[in-house]
Amino acid sequence: MTFTLTSAAQGVQRERLIERLVHLVQTPSENPPGKEAEAAAVVASYCEELGLEVELHEAVADRPNVVARLRGIEEGPTLTYCSHIDVVPAGEHSLWEHDPYAADIVEGRVHGRGSGDAKGPVAAALEAVAVLREAEVPLAGVLELALVADEETMGFCGAGALVEKGILRPDYAIVGEPTSLRVVHAQRGACWMRITTAGRAGHGSAPERGVSAIKHMAEIILQLEAALPEVSHPVLGGPSINVGVISGGAKVNIVPASCTVEVDRRSVPPETEESVIASVEEAIERARARFEDIDASVEMTFYGEPFEVDESSPVVRAMARATEQACGLPAELMGFRGASDARFLAAAGAEVIVCGPGDITLAHTARESVDLDEVERAAVAYALSFADLLSPR
């Protein structure tokens, strides 16, 4: 049988889709501290209703990752749809126009924490599988849903753990994040580093008798951007660096003997972990032009590789065709400046893209909401792309 746009669009049950999304938003799963268990139980029950093989995997107690599989009628590739069930904290509820966990529907939008990031994508993927099951669309290989914890705190207990343990080893992967149904085929690397300067304590009334670790660090900070390499990716642009945390000194009248900063360095292909560290070390050398006695060290606390998938990849082409049909507009391919669980799947050898309903500029804000028409279009696009990539020979 031929699975068409008409088949997919007519198969979507909007009321079911909305009901599941509302239920998910009304199930808090804030991370930190990492309370995903109830949301995991909800999505696991939906997967069981769909007749999927459901497994729960915990890297940390009471923080389950749901892996659900639909096996095809013949051998073929493994396609993993990965999205996350954790959300960032809602913060002060009085700042929200709508209660962050009421899932109010106003003018065609569901409001609340996680509505776009990423429970809208999760609900759309579940509906896509329901459409395929009810239409009895034959598939080859394995369709795998990985609905994971911990993405909002870098994913090591979620997708990262599933890849590390060999539970996820896809050929193709689609990661559900709010991209307004644009197809992301390249992502910058996320590199977190700690820079420490050591000085010599002294009395604040005679700073010349000490060595100020903070003064040395200030010069290093000024040099960090200047030391960025002059590389530019056609989709991702250039690298960036941000000093997010600084600490140092013991008391106002003591010359500080130590200072530490934590920096967020975003990399682009073809940068490597070694070249990223080298650029920070270059900033330190530049700072020594002013203070030759700088004593500084650099530690990489987290490294995430950048990646890109060629536009000719089957997963890029399938998702682009599907969004074009579902939206009635030319597909838009783009790069992603932020981090996502896609990096784990890319490291596992998968050809991976990121695509989902929702506006990324509303994520993590007190205005988070998602357009229900877009979630419905996402369900159609996901169903078309799943069927395309797993079409029997």
Alpha helices (H) in 165-270, listed in sequence order: 213-224
Q: What is the pLDDT of residue 54?
A: 98
- Choose the final residue of a domain: 302, 320, 343: 302
Do both 373 and 265 map to the same domain? no
- Choose the final residue of a domain: 302, 318, 348: 302
Q: What is the pLDDT of residue 142?
A: 98
Do both 232 and 359 map to the same domain? no
| Rg of the chain on CA atoms, in Å | 24
Q: What is the pLDDT of residue 150?
A: 98
Do both 170 and 218 map to the same domain? no
Q: What share of the chain is helix, strand, coil (3-state, %, to 5)?
A: 35, 25, 40
Count the alpha carbons within 13 Å of 28 in the hemisphere toward its beta carbon. Answer: 14
End-to-end CA distance of the chain: 12
Closest CA to 103 of 11, 2, 20: 20
Do both 36 and 104 map to the same domain? yes
Do both 17 and 152 map to the same domain? yes
* CA separation for the pair 314, 171 (Å, rounded): 10
What does DSSP assign to residue 284? H
Do both 22 and 162 map to the same domain? yes
The number of folded domains in the chain is 2
* CA separation for the pair 280, 161 (Å, rounded): 29
Contact between 16 and 379 (Cβ < 8 Å):
no
Beta bridge partners of 267: 189
Do both 61 and 182 map to the same domain? yes
Low-confidence ranges of the chain (pLDDT < 50): none
- Choose the final residue of a domain: 280, 302, 324: 302
Q: What is the pLDDT of residue 2?
A: 84
Do both 202 and 145 map to the same domain? no
Q: Determine if the peptide bond prior to 41 is cis (ω within 30°).
A: no
Which are the contacts of 326, defined by CB distance < 8 A and separation ≥ 6? Answer: 5, 8, 9, 181, 377, 378, 380, 381, 384
* CA separation for the pair 376, 326 (Å, rounded): 9
Do both 154 and 194 map to the same domain? no
3-state secondary structure of 339: coil
Residue 56 CA to its chain's centroid (Å): 21
Do both 227 and 354 map to the same domain? no
The CATH number of the domain where 230 resides is what? 3.30.70.360
The parent domain of residue 107 ranges over: 5-187+306-389
Do both 222 and 268 map to the same domain? yes
Q: What is the pLDDT of residue 1?
A: 63
Q: What is the pLDDT of residue 339?
A: 87
The CATH number of the domain where 30 resides is what? 3.40.630.10
Q: What is the pLDDT of residue 393?
A: 84
Backbone angles phi, psi at 310, to 5 degrees: -60, 145
Q: Give the tokens for residue 366.
A: 């007190």
Contact between 50 and 128 (Cβ < 8 Å):
no
Residue keyed to tokens 């003591």: 254
What does DSSP assign to residue 341? T
**Number of other CB atoms surrounding residue 226 within 10 Å:** 9
| Residue type for position 3 | F
